Structure 1
């Protein structure tokens, strides 16, 4: 076969190498594969082609194996009996797939039209809903908004035993017959990435592909793809999605579901007791499987059918072959279970996996401040006093326990402050916090209570109405719950410590997860295979050490390749000094004004030689701000503005568009320069292709502040790898500049810690720079020659 992986284009050699490596890992039964392929090498499409080719082949093998195994059981039967039996088994296995494809053909042909089918007891009549007239009722203090929902451990969410609820649901089923041809694709691919833009790119790449059918009787088999997203991405209720903030959207959505008055409920939420709603949901689920829909497409489909996309997509998890989702959905086990995601026998592909360790640590770390606890403690006290007599007995018991927990945490901080035991970064033993009160610490019971009683939002509503100045992005009780989850983690995985830095006099009690391998281990064990892919996975040994230290080496495959661009398209420069002044941007020296001004002169000298776009990355926003102020005072910035148009990343969402427009409108003699930040919004997910970045400069090494509480805690725990962490951010930023095979750019590292030794290596930062970038040192041209050659070649 000339194209064994069904790639839609003629793949480059590095793409073929990557697809070979992915396919081999899946075929050989490895548990973990780590793949490094530089940004701009078509990594996403290669991952899709190799994994989907493997999946379709395995589906084909599986269907044939079922038939053969069943046929072998009847060796004593006549041949015609065996043949008839085999045909029967084949119809039952492959016939369902064919029937589902034919059914989806019909759904796609009908589009969004809802067809009413004849029920057993007669035809169902559908009436259009009347539009809400928009009149607002007088807002009153409704205690149902504040009082906790009745809570009982032995009852379901609505106060009815779960078994009884199921029985009532069966009795209440309507006459209408919904055609359900769904199949269950047990073998699935889960594609996971960090940002919505990366998942959007994935669906666009998937639309380019086409793969052979898993059964020979079916000429064309559509790719059954499902994108999962958050409420913020999928909500179609204008009143809810206009809130913008994710936590507020979640809160409002849940509140609308619990509204007792029909007029106040969300009009898009499906009521499975209503025939019209069931039909709309069924049509919505079917249409998603007819072709590859992106999140935006699903939102539009939900709007057309008046069906909530956030909840509606869940019905398509079973028939899907490939499902995309954000990091948080995969990494949170509760979320996976809630959505019905079963990783058994499935392949998990985690893209942009250089962020994985940090994402896990962030998700499972927590903090509580003294000021927040004090506010929560006082509010709970008033709340209990006001509503205790109106609560059920079970609510009284649980809320009293909750108050005791909050009070214990608050008094612990107060006591430590009075004894002068609070020091930035100092560890705290878990038993120091709770001592003999561990009988109160039942996190699962507390979580169940908060879910069923909805107390976190009820109390938040009460606090907002009691104090107009109070504003919070997340209910304070959720912060407490997350912290208590941290207390239930094994001691070896993390540490509790104090944070007193930059908190406006507040004292914060923090938990930092320092070992993410246990969280990741669940995913590896549950799934068939996990593939980690990224442009900057090196050093790969560090990835294995942090995520899978106990996995046998024979179960791990690794792969790293160069870039698709010719080597002459990249020039790498290291500047360790300028005009006799050493350039070393450590915390100790970086504010030295002479060095900062020499940096400015170096940039001015370079700007005059660089056509079009020039992007510089600083180590932090605060440092960029200080440098700009020095340059404004010394006149350096005004000289820069005479050479190129200057843009400074200040967090504005428009800055990249403004910079891009300037590059497109300017001629080669001018162009623009953009000052940005490593790890900032423009260092990941933004493509500085072609003229947008003919040169990239990295100023300093982006180490975390060694004085921060987190850095102190990591150092004491022995889990800190600052150089590896810093250079992953550097490699990621540099990779944004080279986006296609004809692209070219120069890269300059400004700091003596990058300086290579005589053998071309480095004992410092440069040895952690991606290999394809280090290779650019071999290009001996000066900057003028480099850009002149490419300017001539492009004519």
Structure 2
């Protein structure tokens, strides 16, 4: 158990530890986390939880146990309310009739539950037998794949079908034939017109869980298989008391065609956009070569088997893919048939954050729960989902491909096709002309007025909405790029090749963002060092507020969870700006480690302060550490930094990881250390002396981090396969120089001997003079002024701004800027302390870490481990603290 903490509330009587059905004895911090998550879900519509639990505290399992315990309790209460409603509706009837009706209602409820569970139980049993016998899954006969050759009917393969805007409509299902749409609707795909027995669970509340990467979702699903939960049906729960496995968790994972498609002729295309287009093309009514795996009348039984097996086995994405291959039914479409019966649906960020993706999958958030894990980067994730860029070379290639296509098929294009292809060409020419001018400009980057991008060739007179709709529905990009690839194959006589550069798909993505509200985003241009010279356009979403609003306003409850969520203010201000403060619950959990396993120190200067509570003035002979943009090039301070890290490496065993503000500054510091010898002539540069203490490694921008990590690990562990085992006396360990926000600052595990000390050098503020950050700051200030004006008008009946409104707006922008810096710092700090028995020292080198404002934005468990007054004690004080800390660990064995 974790040590007792006075700030953790006592568990109420209504919830003992077994209420959450945790498979192990939970730590105090886990109980605290589960209680708060449960209360958020129990609070009614519109509740938001922003929950921070350090890595190594079992956050995923705590989320599972609290959320599914609440869900089963909620569903059980719904069943009871249904029975109570029947009773209330018959209060004027005789008692015997009421009892008979209630008995019949209970029997129907139980029978429906039992039939479903028995069906799933049989599937689980069969799956277990197959695994026990080691039977191999059936493989798809690859003869269904078609090799493109010289005998291709080019007109049938690449010529655009006749297109009529009026007929196409706005129905996202219009890409399918009428027969396919009817069948998919009957299976629960798309928007079914009526509810039948197979979709009766569609109204039941669900949990949609999302995380950043596929591997994180797989880890979550592994944890999902650990706990057991009681039935949600009251009678079953009573008759099978103590039987935690009475009702297994029903889970379905969703993913893209790129991960789930089992058609070799589609998957070999490589790019997601090409795969999507080819998939839908193979389902259109005029397609001569239908995909054999899409749900149809012939494989309907297998589609139902797919659904039931998925709900019976808690599968991950790989399981769904293999199941589809075994049953020869498309996992991408068949997985949707399991959504109505699922209790928890896992999916990656893009499929949840984009409304168009949710609509395509048939996901309805209304009344359901959304849990976003690894949510510290959710605002960046929203921006990335809506980001787009295009290069001048892409546009030139797009014009070349269009020219090739029109020369071959131009005379055969009819009606709207001829007009719309010409319009695409005008857009490409206009964008190219603007970028040609930008390439000759004196400045290397800047903000672009999107209205100017389409001034040439009369492109600004085009209806971009209609043009985008045409390209998407006609599959123009796919057909043009596929035809170009076909010509390349013929020329090379080497068979089919993947379309290497889907430039027309890139064009569609970029002109799509041009239709967004101008107040929400900005377009930037930037020159790129290349031969020949290159320049690009990039769209940046300045605020996630509008894009996230469809989630925030629809879901019954939203939980943002992460290991390092601090500081919390940005999530409230930019994801839930209109939500009342009483609807938002925040929590920063402590760690599962005892306080003695953590030593946090602020190194503000090399020497102790002259008077308690005061810091030496900046520039005092390099004694003060302040790595601001104005001072970070101070050679004396860089030298003192090297000596401080040299002293740290003398005392700290095994691995030391140092994080710098940027790759550029890391290069500058290394160059200074390699050139400068010590004043007292003790021999060699600081760089040489560091190499004498530990094996030295560095992260380089653009290089692979895997090799560096492997070499760093080997230097510490050697052949030892037990990271927690004490190092031998001859082992000197290693020093890794990395960058905040770089590849080693997130998702990398420096547990045990790999990270006995993490050092953060300076505060990694973004470049506030960059066009992107200038635009963000301007947007936050203006949007804050608008909110203040709207609020004042509502309360006072006028549009007069409060006197300090401008100051408040500027402060909001400064807070956002500083919070972006601190989130990056907190991620780097989180690389150490990965489990209950781990221990490490964390050294923050910069006097600003000693200020209350900055400390208040560190995670609670870091603040709790901070050595009081450390910023006043200098390097000598740090050496004493580290010596005591690691000596104590050696004595403990």
TM bucket, shorter chain = 0.7 to 0.9
Shift of 1:349: 0.6
5 Å-filtered alignment, 1:354-433, equals: 354-413=376-435, 424-428=445-449, 430=451, 433=454
Q: 1:264-308 CA distances to partner (integer Å, 9 max, x unpaired)?
A: 8877x345242xx33433322211111222223333433444444
CA distance in 2, matches of 1:184, 1:158: 20
1:619 maps onto 2:641 in alignment: no
Determine if contact 2:145/2:265 at 8 Å carries over to the other structure: no
Q: Describe the SS at the equivalent of 1:673.
A: strand
- SS of equivalent residue, structure 1 residue 565: coil
Partners in 1 of 2:141 and 2:375 — Cα distance?
49
Alignment partner for residue 75 of structure 2, among 51, 54, 59? 59
Q: Which deviates the most, 73-82 or 205-214?
A: 73-82
Match of 1:272 among 292, 296, 303: 296
Note the alpha carbon deviations across 1:558-607, whole angstroms, 9 max, x for none.
Answer: 22232222222211122334485244444455455554444333222211
For 2:832 and 2:760, the matched residues in 1 are separated by 12
TM-score (norm 2): 0.77
Decide whether the 8 Å contact of 1:31 with 1:524 is kept in 2: no
Greater displacement, 385-394 / 693-702:
385-394
How is 1:432-447 mapped onto 2 (pairs within 5 angstroms)? 433=454, 440-443=462-465, 445-447=466-468
Equivalent residue number for residue 548 of structure 2: 520
Structure 1 residues 130 and 433 mapped into 2: Cα distance closer, same or farther (>3 Å)? Answer: closer
Q: Given that residues 281 and 475 in structure 2 are in contact (C-alpha distance below 8 angstroms), is that contact kept between their aligned partners in structure 1? A: no
Cα distance in 2, alignment partners of residues 170 and 623 from structure 1: 57
Q: Does 1:227 align with 2:245?
A: no
Q: Over residues 513-546 of structure 1, what are the superposed CA-to-partner deviations in whole Å (9 max), with x where a residue is unaligned?
A: 1121111111011111111112222222222111
1:769 alignment partner in structure 2: 858
Cα distance in 1 for residues equivalent to 2:386 and 2:185? 40
Please give the alpha-carbon distance, in whole angstroms, between the structure 2 residues aligned to 1:168 and 1:16.
47
In the alignment, what sits opposite 2:584? 556
- Change in CA separation of 1:158 and 1:393 when aligned onto 2, cut-off 3 Å: farther
The residue correspondences of 1:186-585 to structure 2 (distance < 5 A) are 186-218=204-236, 219=240, 220-236=246-262, 269-274=293-298, 277-413=299-435, 424-428=445-449, 430=451, 433=454, 440-443=462-465, 445-464=466-485, 475-500=502-527, 505-578=533-606, 580-581=621-622, 582-585=624-627
Aligned to 2:884: 785
User: Where does residue 150 of structure 1 map in the other structure?
Assistant: 162
Question: Does residue 38 of structure 2 align to residue 23 of structure 1?
Answer: yes
Give 2:709's match in structure 1, choosing from 648, 653, 656.
Answer: 656
Structure 1 residues 169 and 736 mapped into 2: Cα distance closer, same or farther (>3 Å)?
Answer: closer
Task: Give unmatched runs, 5+ long, in structure 2.
Answer: 1-15, 131-137, 187-196, 241-245, 608-620, 677-684, 721-726, 782-812, 871-879
> What is the 5 A alignment of 1:4-15?
4-15=19-30
Distance 2:344 2:738 in 1: 36
**Residue 679 of structure 2 corresponds to which residue in structure 1?**
none
Please list the CA deviations of residues 132-171 of structure 1 after superposition, one character each: whole Å capped at 9, or x if unmatched: 3999674456524433343233556999996576679999
The 2-side partners of 1:656 and 1:744 are apart by: 20
| 2:692 aligned partner | 642
Separation in structure 2 between the aligned mates of residue 160 and residue 35 of structure 1, nearest angstrom = 41
Q: What is the Cα-based RMSD across aligned positions, in Å?
A: 3.8
Structure 1 portions without partners, runs of 5+: 115-126, 172-178
Instruction: Select which of 767, 783, 790 maps to 1:705.
Output: 767
Structure 2 partner of 1:674: 736
> Residues 61 and 442 of structure 1: is their aligned pair in 2 closer, same or farther, counting only changes over 3 Å?
same
Asked if 1 retains the 8 angstrom alpha-carbon contact of 2:258 and 2:272, the reply is: yes
Change (3 A) 1:164 1:787: closer
Paired with 2:70 and 2:224, the residues of 1 have a C-alpha distance of: 15
**In structure 2, C-alpha distance between the alignment counterparts of 1:752 and 1:400, rounded to whole Å:** 61
* Partners of 1:152 and 1:159 within 8 A in 2: no
Q: Distance in 2 between matches of 1:632 and 1:309?
A: 56
2-structure distance, mates of 1:387, 1:545: 53
Aligned to 1:768, the other structure's residue is in SS state coil
2:423–2:459 Cα contact (<8 Å) kept:
no
Q: For residue 123 of structure 1, what is the aligned residue in structure 2? A: none
**Cα distance in 1 between the residues matched to 2:431 and 2:656:** 51
- Three-state SS of the structure 2 residue aligned to 1:777 is coil
Once the two structures are superposed, residues 340-391 of structure 1 have per-residue CA deviations (whole angstroms, 9 ceiling, x without a partner) of 1111110001111110111111221333334433432344344334322222
Q: Deviations over 1:625-654 (max 9, x none)?
A: 454455556654443333333333342334
Q: Counterparts of 2:153 and 2:706 in 1: how far apart (Å)?
A: 40
CA contact (8 A) 2:627 2:762 kept: yes
State the alpha-carbon separation in 2 of the partners of residues 165 and 44 from structure 1: 39
